[in-house]
Every structure is written in C-alpha cells, then in structure tokens.
Structure 1
C-alpha cells in the first residue's frame, strides 16, 4: 500500500510472512491486498526510502506485527531493528495503540511522515506526481458496506435503466438537445436541481464539454458513468464535482461549496448556517499538515469509514446466524389443506382480536334480541292486519335505535372510561382503547382481508367502529319501512281495515303524506335526520382537517370549529328524539313509551361528566410557566401542576383558551413525566383553533436568546412580573392506549412528527422508574426493562421540540435502558451521493464533540425512513420470549404495516408483539 503528498513522496510497503511454500525471499517487499479476515498475519511496514539502502544497512526500519481479524486490527508487536532513536520512540508509541484498519494505517502514515520530514531523512525525499488511488480491499468487513455509497442513481431509477431515461429525453429535449436545467429530471434526480446541475458540470468538464446542452449520445455517456457500479468510478465523479478547477486538489473554498450544496439538497438549514465551522472540521481531519487542500485518496479514506455504531445498536452474539434463521422462519409456507389453512387464519385472527370479537358479538346479540322481541310483539297487534311486516320491521329497527342512541354516549364519557381503565381489572377483557372507534361510524367489518399464503401471513384486520353504524341501520329500517310501506298501506286501506286504527290516527283516515310529515312525529324525525347528516359530513377527515382546496367554496364551512359546533348539535337531536319517542302513533300509555328509559342513565352520566369538567377546570387553575414557539409551527406550553393533579405517562388533558374560544376544549397528550413538577404539552398548528392559539401566545413572546431553543420564548422568572399570559383551563387527565406501557417487558415506541408527544413522557418515566429501582427506592419492581424509541420527522427543525429531553435521557441513561433513534426523512438515504458528505460530516462531528449536526442532540440522526421489518427483526433477536408493547402515534398510513409486522413476528417467533395506536 502506498501513500503520498505532493511535496514529498513517501511509500510504505507491507512485507508479509507467508506461511506457505511460496513464501517470498527474505528482504523482499511485497504489496498486500486481500480480505481482512482469516488467520493472523505478520505484516512489516517499511519506509521506501530505506529500500535502496537495505542491502547495505537492513536495520533502518520499524517492524510492526498486526493481528488483523475481520474489520478490527490490533498491534501484536512493534520493535525497531535499527539504532535510530526516533524510530525506537515511534515503536514504543505505536505499541500501545489499536484502532480500526483505516484509522490505524492513517495514524502510521502520519508518524512516518513526521519522521521522514526530519533533517536526517529529508534528503531521501524526491518530488513526484500525484499518486494513484490506493486500491483497498473492499470484499469484506464494514468497508464493503461503505463502498455502496455515493450512488448518483437511486435503485428504482437504476432498475428502469436507459430506456426510461431515453423516454424522458424525448419528452424534455428541445430540437434534440437537453438543457442543463432539465438534466436532473431526465436522469431521475428529481427535487435536487442544483445538485444535478453540479453533477452535469463535473461530467462535462471531464469531457471538455462547454455547452449547457446535451445530445442523446452525450447523455448516454453521462448515464453510463453515473450508473457505473464501480466505487472508484463513483468516487472520481464525486471528486470531479468538488474539484471545479480540475487541478487534482480540493481547496477549502471548494469544500465549503460542496457542504453548502449538500445541505441545500437535503433541506438542512442548520448546516448551511454553520458551513464555516464544518469546513474547518473536514480540513482539520483531511489536511493535518495545513497544506490548504486535500486529495482524492484523503477523500477515499474518509468515505470508506463506515458510520460508527454505538454498542446499543448492535445485535446480540451470533446475530448473523440468528438473522438467517429468523428470515427462514418468516418465509410463509403454503399449506395445501384448505381446512387447516382457514383454521390457522381464524385462530390467528381470534388471538389478535378476541376482546373486540366478544364485545361485538354481545352487541350484535343484544340488537338482534331487541329487534326480535319488538318484531314478535307487533305481529300480534291489530295494526299488523293493515301494515303487515312493514310495521314489525319499523318497530324492530326503532328498538335497536333506542339502544344504540343510549350506548353511543358511553364511549365519550372520558372520566368514566379512565376510571374503569385505571382502577378496575376490566381492561383484561374489555378493549377500552377502542372506545372512540366504537363511537364512530363505518362498516362493521370494513377490512377483513385474507392475504394469499404465498404472499406472507394473511392480513386480518377488523374495524370495530360499530355503534353509530348500528344507529344508521336502525334508522334506515325504521324510516324506510314507514315511508315506503306503512304509510302507503294506511293511505290505501279500506274503511273496514281502517276501523281498528281509529284510536291511533283519528276518525278520519290521513288524506296524504303531508299529514304524516307535519305531525310532531314527522317533523321531529326529519329534523333529526338532517342534523345527524350534517354532523356526519363535517366529521369526515376531509372537512374536519380542512383538506379541501383553497378554491373550494365549501372550505369556509370546514375545520375543527365546524366539526365541534356541528357535533354539539347532538343536544338538539336528543331533545327531538325524546319528543319523537313520546309522541307515538301506536302507543298512548306513557309507561309503555320506553325511549326515555333507555336514555335516562347515559344522558345523566354524560351531563355529570360535563358538569365535572366545568367545576374541575375552574378549580384546577394553571399558571403558564414557559412558552416556546418552535420551527414547524409547534407551540410548547409549560404549566404549573395543580395541587393533587396526578396522571400517568401516555394520558392526555383537554385544554380551553377563552381568548380563542370560550366553548371549545381540545385534547393534547402530556409530554412531561409524572415525576416532574410541571405539566407540558406540545401543540402543532393544523386547524383554525390551533392557529389562533399559536397567534395569541406568540404576542407575549420574544425572540429566543442564543442559548435557548425555539424561535420565540416567554419564561416566567421567579420574582418577576413577566408578560401577561392568556388564561388556560385544563381538564383531565384522561386515559389513552399509551398508558398501558407498564405491562410490557420491552417497549417499541414509534412517533411520527408531533405524534411523539405521548411517547416522550413514557421515555422520561421509564428512565425515572428504572433509576428508582436501581436506587432501591421503589417497593414494586418496574416491569419494563428496555425501551426502543423511534422518532421519524420530515423537518430538521422538529428536533428542537424535544432537544432538552433527548439530551437529558442520553446523559442520565447510564445503563443503556433506552435506545433513541431519530430519523430525518428530508435527508436522502445513506448511500445516496447527495447525503454522502452529510454522513461523513455527521460522523466526524459526533466523534469529536458528541453532538449530532442534524438534531443538535447527543442522539445520532438516521437518514430516510426506518426499515420497520429490520427493526422488528432486531428486537426479536435481542429479546426472545419477551412481550413487546408496540405503541404508535402519528400518521395513519403506517398503521397497517406496523400491525401486520406485529402479527407476523408474534405468530412465527417466540417474541410477542402487541400493537397499540393512539386515536387522535
């Protein structure tokens, strides 16, 4: 292996003692290139300047024996064969050192350069041209992973090949020429036009092309170089892109430009703001002699260093073999017996959903029983002779409607649900986490999908949002039977047939439909249907989350305010329902009119809950301690904790701000831990109410100081008056799925964007409880012993939301109980040329300062989205036979994949994953 700088040429040779019959003659210097694994080899590094004098004086060198195994190297022995005192000093210094291959060889090279630059050896140097790039062995070790980087073409684009590029050329070219500005789009580098332009310039410089347009033949040549899988070719392209004047050297200014370009391509504004600092860091690393430039081989050495992995991110022993075994276990096998195949699917389904199944079965049984009871009752009434089975169907549907109109109030009685969840053992058999789902309206079994066995484990999901669906069915049966069958029969019956119905409809037979509509029974029914339809439409995500386009005329009627106010039309609906149920045609005695009987207890319970909120929110006043406005339109509020206010991590509170709306209450997850002396929430601006809340608090904030996080801040300093804060009322806490984390040995916490809020509190609480167990201060053993936290966000500014918490956990978690993973999806995945320099810079800065350049915390940031199957596989390998609680909060697009992976790994391995998701 050889190394050189442009002032003096110095060669190092590996002299290898081969244990075979083909051992070279003694004193012969041979280059070493081969895999870094296998048996131990004795290697001798020899100064090339002494080679000429070796025949006369064979002692002018240092012999170093290295023990090389896989990608690690240790110095076995170092001794000087000569009398040079500096060589002896070098031998003693190197004998105590050990590192990875690249760092060690670089370290040895620097020591030899220092010795060679002394007066005694300066005469040995001769000027020489720039040396060829070192051909390192890249067939094994983590270096083989590093050389997969610098990909200018993504896998998807590369798989499409030249034909797709040719097609795009024909679409984008003007008169057979492709403009530089369209080059990125043509080769599939979309969204990085500036970076693609620099790639264009680098390829053009090497070929002497000065024009800013390309022919198809030139584009084909560019494409072949960019899609070349040789690392040397990709490295040369990257070097040419940085070395704009093509002098073979990368100056400090060129390093500064490529850092700024890479930061811009990955939307990392924080790196752009500190580009001078990071330029100096790279020059310090690659130009230790302060020559003012770096060369290709320096860049190669840095690129071939794989990102450092913390011990907490490594797999357990023999992970490679176990990973192969696990992969084989997860390969689906096709059972040819259809009965066994069906039985396996049903058993898996019941194992995952037995709580939901028995609750829905009970609900269906009650509805069917009520329908059958009322249906049979009216078969023996006189009205049956005129209206027939139409009236029995209408009355059967009405009875189920009464039951479901009463039942739908129970899932939204939050205090009651929280008490039952926290204080009783009913949670073992009742799925309290699905309370909101039971309240919503969708089809009963919306997604019961069986995946073919050859495509993997069948995806079995059931959407149990059923009570409102029952209301829809009951109302359809009741209204439909009356309007299409009962009333027409009554209008067209004979006088003799009408005679028994005179006590109910009067002596004179109703003349037309209008007679039914204008009656109390009619107009109350129509009004209820209209109000419930309005509430249903405005509750849909497109309206509730204001997803309509700005030009849509209905946009002004959407948003959370519209949802909130329309949903509270239920007060009018229930009033009309009671009136409608009392003014019945066919029942005259009050004690036989059962509508009020169904509704009495649920309405009383719900009314008590609302009165409790009014009383408790007025009693539990809070003082705003700190306000911070963060990038990404996030508002952080720290409030004083009311006396006696107790909560568990994962729970939430509802907040009212009279300055925004005196009536609206909005739920937000608590981000502080139960042990903190304050309550904190993080609010992301999404709708009209949250936008106004942010605006109100921004008025009392000031720009943050240099040592503070956030864009705007307002802190209440002890003893000072401070700004006048808007008044906040809180109510709660209320139960949520995330609060069940204490029941699991291992936790997998996954938050997308602002969805990390309930999980941050869990992370802090796990750390506090584990430390309390270690100190012996807790009588009850805390069950959770390991937690993996994955936070995926699109914007780098999002990491400011919980920067303090992340640093606190990283600092205090001495036992490595919590494994933190930040993922920034705006940065291109590792291996992409657009993020290669960011990855290098990240590794250098983290190694030197212990701080990540993207998140600004001690937690290293990963690029692009996580591979969730790999995450589940690693946890399975690390925790065989354990119960893992998977808690997710964020965008619903990932829910299906996480639920399926939880099922796959639970059914095919000894590790059991239980999936939970937040409902808001």
Structure 2
C-alpha cells in the first residue's frame, strides 16, 4: 500500500481535491438553500428536495466546466512542453487525461441523476400543493399570481393540470429532456464494448456534447425554482408572516410576498472552457487544411497497412501519435495512430491494422485488399492533426527504461527503438538512457515481419558500437499451431531464431512478470526505472500492480514508475 501511494501520490491528491471540491460545493449549496430566508416559502412547498436539486446542479456545473479540459489535446501538449511541467510525476499525470475525463463524466452522471430525481419529486410536490389536503398555507402560496400585481411561486397553476404536459411546455422542461437524452446516449456509447466493436457509434454520439452544452446554458432560463425577491424580503418577513398568512392582504407588516426565478448561472461556469475548446477546434481545422503528401504505401501480412507521409513544418518526438482523417472514407472521423518513424527520418509513418469499419474502408481506398496499390498521385487525400505527446515519450528521461508491448501495441516502441538506433549512429549525441529492456508479447508469428528488420538493424548497430548490453529484448509468442511447433523444434539449435531471424531466441508462452521485475530490481537496486506499456487493459493492471509491489518504500531504493499509453 505504501509503494502504491508513493507511485500514485499525485493521482490520489488530484482525486481527493476533485472529490473535496465536489463535496464542498454540494454541502455549501445545500446548506444555503436549506437556510436562506428567500426560500422559506419554497421549502414549505418542496421540502429538502429543493436543496438536493440546487446542490446537485452546482456540482453538475462544476464538472461540466472540467469535462472539456482533458480532451483539449493542444492544451495538454502545451502543458507537457511547458517548463513548469517538466517534472516526471506531473507529466505522468497529464498522460492520464482520459482517465480524468472519465472520472469527471461519472461526476456529471451522478449529479445529473440526483438533479433529475429531485426535480421529479419537486414537480409532484408542486402539484399536490394545489390539492385541499396540502393545507391552507400551501394552498395560499399556490394561489398567488392570479392577479396582475402578484407573482406566482407554484408553476403548476391548478390541481387538474397535466404535470407532464405543463413541464414540457417550459424551457426548463424541454431542455432538461434534451440534456438527459444527449447525456444517456453519450454515456452508453462510451462503454468499452461499443468503442471496440462500433467506434463510429462512439465517435458520432460523443459529438452530442454540443447539444448538451447548448441545452445546459439555456436550461436555467426556465427559472422553474423561484424564491422571494430582495425587495419583498424587506417588506414581508417570511419567518413571522408564514404563521400569519390569513392577514397577508390586510396587515401592513405582511403584504403579499413577491417571487422571481433564479438567473441562469451555468454559462458562467462553462464559458471559459467552451472558448478554450473552440480555439482547440480552430487549430485542428487549420491543421486539416494543410497538405499531406503520401510518399510510400506498404502492405504487411496480418492486415497491417504502412503509410509514409510528409507535411510542411511537421516536427515529432519519439513515441508520439497523430490523428488521421481520410475525407473519402469519412468527412468527420479522426482516428489516433502512433507514429512508427523516428524524428531523425525525413518522413513520418504509421502502421494501421484492420480492426473496424473505418480501417477496412481505408484499406479499400488505398487498394490494399487487391494487393495492387494505386499510383501515389491517385491515392485518397489524408489529413493529419498532431503530433501529440504520449506516455512513451518519457523513455529517454530515465537511465533505465523497460518497454512492454502487446500485439499492435508495439508501434510506439518502433519509433523509440529507431530513434535509439539513430542516436547511437551519431557520436555527438549524449544519452541519459543507459539501458533498455524491451518485451513484446504477440500471438501471431506473421506480425513479427515488419518489426523484425528494425530489431535486426538495432542489434547489429549495438554490436558494432560495442554496446551489446544496451538493449535486452525478449519476444514472447503466445499462440502457435502443430506445424509451427514442429518447425520450431527442428530448428531450435540454429544460431538465428526461426521466427524472427534474430540472435535472441523467441520465448514461447507468457512472461512471468514477478520474476522479471524481481530480476530488474536486483540488477538496478537504487535506480528510478521507467516502465512504459502499450496494450490491453488487463495486462496493464497486472503490470501496474507489479510495479507498485517491487518499488521500494525507501526513496533511495529502486522505484518503478509506470506509464501507460492511452488515447
């Protein structure tokens, strides 16, 4: 537990601050509406659900203010590059922007549920206040507003009124339904199952956030909840007059109370982040307009398409990613892909695997299905947004780095390993990085094809430079058939590996992470070791837990800093 707190202290602090602010805003608003004199008569009609509705609304506004910030990619990149954010712990926190986005979304969902439930009860209590069973004071309050010089408190004007129809005739009612529907669609389409199987559904439904924010800003204009006006409070002391309601029209100290709705405040909360996000979209649109030249197209086995591109002014770092759009496939969709080229190369590249409708359509557009590529000038236009930093960009900041990839998750490490190769070729380059451990877990032997050449060149270059100990790589094959097993057994004693053609032999099965990390801790007893992972969530949890287990509580001991690649 102590190791976990040391490694995740900033995440824990951020979570506690966020929860603390939510609780503070909820309790403060709740207490204000429970005690404020202007709402004495409103509380008589509605009870404590008034405070529940308003407190949850404040927290809802607060979380809506935060929700766009973690998905403002250019803002995150700016913070990552700013000198104030050069600390490793803070940089790792920026890599968890999507996790924070989800956490805030949960806050919106919880507070929206409380707000809706409270207002449904409020509407019913408004309705019952018009009945004879409600009592004389509630009847009296519900009857206000019939004369020209009176203002109403109860929006349900008669007991016979259809409450559903009446609410849906108000601004608050209509926008409330629109906001709720948009929120439900956004949340339900964000589940991992839908994101993995129908990314397009997730992509399009998420853009309902525009409808959500417009509805949120307009919602408060309905002024459904009303309280006594400041002028009325000076003339009509509700604490005294509520017990003398029969004298309201006759006694000078108790004139008829006047009521008004709250002015909308949601726009004050969300205006700044919306303006910031509009600027974000303008930058993205500007990048969309920039020309991208495709210089090379390669198809690999196991359904992987490699694109080499050039773009004026494009500057990248190892391990970064871009968003790619192909207007001939979809005018709106942008998909993230890790760059597999190195900054030292005069082009940038991505490797794209067919995993959904969009990537399948892209394959078809480039003629990859027929294995007959079009001439470069006939290829469809693509647009590029980026590059953006990711967790793996921190590999060069540690003396010892452990890179772990599963399946296609190897792509960010292609860029990093290439960059290491180029840096080793340059005698003027001074590297902080002294040792790299690379693990790749893959189920399909054919997937090694495009990556094996890179490892071979790197292996050769390290041997030439006398740095055989610089890179230790371990490749694990987790799936094979009987024929492959026979072939592997026959060539087991060969000098080169039968699968990859490398000197380092492929391992079969899955790595024992406990043993691997124990060995790493013994090899580097007093180092800060960066662990970088790209792959499935299940394995990520195992690795994070193992990093925490083998990190020393003593700051002078070995520390494993876990970094996960996420989009």
TM-score, normalised by the number of residues in structure 1: 0.53
User: Which residue of 836, 841, 860 corresponds with 2:491?
Assistant: 841
- Evaluate the alpha carbon distance shift between residue 740 and residue 584 of structure 1 in structure 2; reply closer, same or farther with a 3 A threshold: farther
Give the structure 2 partner of residue 310 of structure 1.
none
**1:592/1:520 CA distance change after superposition, 3 Å:** closer
Paired with 2:191 and 2:448, the residues of 1 have a C-alpha distance of 31
2:558 maps to 911
Task: Go from structure 1 to structure 2 and tell me whether the alpha carbon gap of 1:349 and 1:824 turns closer, same or farther (over 3 Å shift).
Answer: closer
Q: Which residue of 1 aligns with 2:216?
A: 577
SS in structure 1 of the partner of residue 95 of structure 2: helix
Deviations 1:305-330 (A, max 9, x none): xxxxxxxxxxxxxxxxxxxxxxxxxx
Given the alignment of the two structures, is residue 614 of structure 1 paired with residue 290 of structure 2, yes or no? no
Equivalence for 1:105: none
Q: Using the TM superposition, give the Cα deviation of residue 797 of structure 1 relative to its aligned residue in structure 2, in angstroms.
A: 0.7
- CA deviation after TM superposition for structure 1 residue 575, in Å: 1.2
Superposed, 1:293-312 pairs within 5 Å as: none
Contact 1:700 1:724 in 2 (8 A): no
The whole-number CA distance in structure 1 between the counterparts of 2:211 and 2:523 is 56
Which of the numbers 108, 111, 116 marks the counterpart of 1:471?
Answer: 108
Q: 1:507 to 1:392 in 2, by over 3 A?
A: closer
Q: Secondary structure at the match of 2:314?
A: coil
Secondary structure of the equivalent of 1:751?
A: strand
Q: CA RMSD in A?
A: 2.5
Unaligned runs of 5+ in 2: 130-137, 146-150, 227-258
1:724 maps to: 378
Deviation at 1:700, TM superposition (A): 9.1
Q: Is contact 1:413-1:609 (8 Å) kept? A: yes
Q: State the Cα distance separating 1:862 from its structure 2 match.
A: 2.1
Correspondence for 1:659 = 328
Map 1:818-833 → 2, pairs under 5 A:
818-827=471-480
Contact residue 49 and residue 119 of structure 2 kept, 8 A = yes
Deviation at 1:369, TM superposition (A): 2.2
| Equivalent residues of 1:827, 1:864 under 8 A apart | no
Does the C-alpha gap of structure 1 residues 911 and 651 become closer, same or farther in structure 2, counting only changes over 3 Å?
same
Distance 1:376 1:875 in 2: 54
Which of the two has higher C-alpha Rg?
1
Change over 3 Å in CA distance of 1:771–1:522 after alignment to 2: same
What's 2:354 paired with? 685
Q: 1:404 aligns with which of 63, 85, 90?
A: 63
Secondary structure, counterpart of 2:7 in structure 1: helix
1:19-34 correspondence to structure 2 within 5 Å = none
**How has the CA–CA distance of structure 1 residues 513 and 722 changed in structure 2, closer, same or farther, with 3 Å as cutoff?**
closer
| Deviation (angstroms), 1:591 | 9.2
Instruction: Provide, for residues 427-456 of structure 1, a one-character-per-residue CA deviation record: whole Å limited to 9, x for no partner.
Output: 63641111101112xxxxxxxxxxxxxxxx
Give 1:699 shift. Answer: 5.1
Q: In structure 2, do the counterparts of structure 1 residues 699 and 354 end up closer, same or farther at CA, with 3 Å as the change threshold? A: closer
Partners of 2:442 and 2:457 in 1: how far apart? 20
Corresponding residue of 1:327 = none
- Distance in 2, matches of 1:570 and 1:600, equals 14
Secondary structure at the aligned position of 1:726 is classed as: coil
Q: Give ranges in structure 1 of 5+ residues lacking alignment.
A: 1-344, 441-465, 547-558, 704-712, 715-720
TM-aligned CA deviation for residue 854 of structure 1: 0.9
The equivalent of 2:534 in structure 1 is 889
The whole-number CA distance in structure 2 between the counterparts of 1:508 and 1:835 is: 81
What is the CA deviation profile of residues 379-415 of structure 1, one whole-angstrom value per residue up to 9, with x for unaligned ones? Answer: 2123122212110111000000011112101000000
**How far is 1:863 from its partner?**
1.9
CA contact (8 A) 1:654 1:668 kept: yes
Among candidates 324, 349, 369, match of residue 4 of structure 2: 349
CA distance in 1, matches of 2:483, 2:326: 48
Correspondent of 2:294 among 624, 634, 638: 624
1:597 aligned residue (259, 268, 274):
268
Q: Who is 1:852 aligned against? A: 497
Q: Counterparts of 1:418 and 1:895 in 2: how far apart (Å)? A: 24
Quick check: 1:751–1:889 contact (8 Å CA) kept in 2?
yes
Q: In the TM superposition, what whole-angstrom CA distance separates every residue of 1:722-759 from its partner, at most 9, and x where no partner exists?
A: 56211111011112111122221111111111000111
| Equivalent of residue 26 in structure 2, options 351, 359, 371 | 371
Structure 2 equivalent of residue 769 of structure 1: 423
For 2:377 and 2:172, how far apart are their aligned partners in 1?
A: 57
Shift of 1:592: 3.8
Q: What residue is the counterpart of 2:178 in the other structure?
A: 527
Q: What pairs with 1:149-548 in structure 2 (closer than 5 Å)?
A: 345=1, 347-379=2-34, 380=36, 381-382=39-40, 383-426=42-85, 428=87, 430=90, 431-440=93-102, 466-484=103-121, 486-493=122-129, 494-498=138-142, 502-505=151-154, 508-509=157-158, 511-514=161-164, 515-546=166-197
Q: Secondary structure at the match of 1:603?
A: helix
Q: 1:874-919, CA deviations, whole angstroms, 9 ceiling, x for partnerless residues?
A: 3223222111111111122212221122112113793221111122
Partners of 1:487 and 1:698 in 2: CA distance: 60
Change (3 A) 1:355 1:794: same
* Superposition map of 1:55-70 within 5 A: none
Partner of 2:441: 792
Partner deviation per Cα, 1:629-681 (whole Å, 9 max, x = no partner): 212111111112x2322222121100000111011100001111111111011
Alpha-carbon distance in structure 1 between the residues aligned to 2:357 and 2:331: 14
**Structure showing greater relative contact order (alpha-carbon pairs closer than 8 Å, 6 or more residues apart):** 2
